[in-house]
Amino acid sequence: MRDKYKPFLRQLAIAALTTVLLYYALVFVHQGTILFFNTGILVELVVAFFFLLAIFVANSFISKAFSSGPLSRISGGWKTVLEGITVVASSVTLCFLLYYVPYRLVYYVADAEVNLLPERVRLAYVISSVAALFFYYFVERERNRKELQAEHLRAEQLQKENFRAQLEALKNQVNPHFLFNSLNVLNSLIHIDPDKAATFLSQLSEVYRALLDSGDKPLVTLEKELELANAYIYLMQTRFGGNVQFKVDVPSPYLHLQLPPTSLQMLLENAIKHNGSTINKPLHISIYVKNDKLVVENNLQPRLDELKSTKVGLQNIISRYKYFTDEKVEVTQTEGSFMVALPLLDVAPYESSYT
């Protein structure tokens, strides 16, 4: 929350400091000293502060319009010229509304015979335009450039995480042990039940197809992720029979929500990899939605030949979520169960930036 308001607080600080420095610089030029202060000066400082703050806000909107809006398509020197004209026009307008108009009202109320000097009005317009251009080109555009660079860096990091997830998932699936067991199951099914063998082969190819198709996408719908999970579940049920039991309960209203690709399949893979199972002590894996999160829960039955967990898969999922939301991936382990809850994301906030 504090980081959210940092840019605005920074603008407040710059506006306040600039107001004091610029105002007393002008006072020194006219009076030859800065060693005095009264109520009138305080009023002028407040007006100047809000005027500069308004310029900063206007500059922020102008910078966004020219960097990511329709105006960003303008190329060459025309874009720079149009930016400068827009900044000057906005500063002159703000100077008229927030400086000239209030002063006219104050002077007319205080003394109808006192008028603002034309030279002072023109000087205010010139100074406001120069200040606006300075802060736009040397502060606002620089800040916006750094934000765009950070956004591009985040996108590149996200792409790397997705490729890493795809590679991790494929590595797990192409693991000779997994492939050897799958081919053995397929070989036995060919002689016993050719139709079931054909279905098994179809689901095996579906797993690989889904892994390859989703690897270049930052987010996929829960519906798509469940298609991959169901294909994977079929393979595991065919291979382990009643030793591993799955329960999937995901209401249809949640199917349009999104999550990082292969994350559900990776959690299923981890549950089977790190837990033993027999017909008398089956491994129970449940998939359900709770508090707008997709939950994968299994009973803990550590294997006798327990594999040392690197937690690479789970850490990869957590890392990818950080690019999209402040919501945390919840990992809960008790004496008898292990549970991971994945936030389900609404597509709207992300589709404009990542599709």
pLDDT, tens digit, 9 for 90 and up, residues 294-349: 999 999 988 876 555 555 678 888 888 887 888 999 999 998 999 999 999 986 54
Q: Are strands 258-259 and 293-299 parallel, antiparallel or unpaired?
A: unpaired
Confidence of residue 110 (pLDDT cuts 50, 70, 90): very low
The reported pTM is 0.53
pLDDT, tens digit, 9 for 90 and up, residues 261-278: 889 988 998 898 889 888
Owner of token pair 């997994």: 178
Q: Which tokens go with 78?
A: 């025309």
Cβ pair 343, 188 in contact under 8 A: no
* β partners of residue 220: 259
Per-position b or e across 51-73, b if 16+ CB within 10 A of its CB: bbbbbbebbbebbeebeeeeeee
pLDDT, tens digit, 9 for 90 and up, residues 201-246: 888 887 777 777 765 678 889 999 998 889 889 888 888 889 999 9
Is 70 exceeded by the pLDDT of residue 183? yes
pLDDT, tens digit, 9 for 90 and up, residues 39-72: 767 777 777 778 778 888 888 788 777 777 677 7
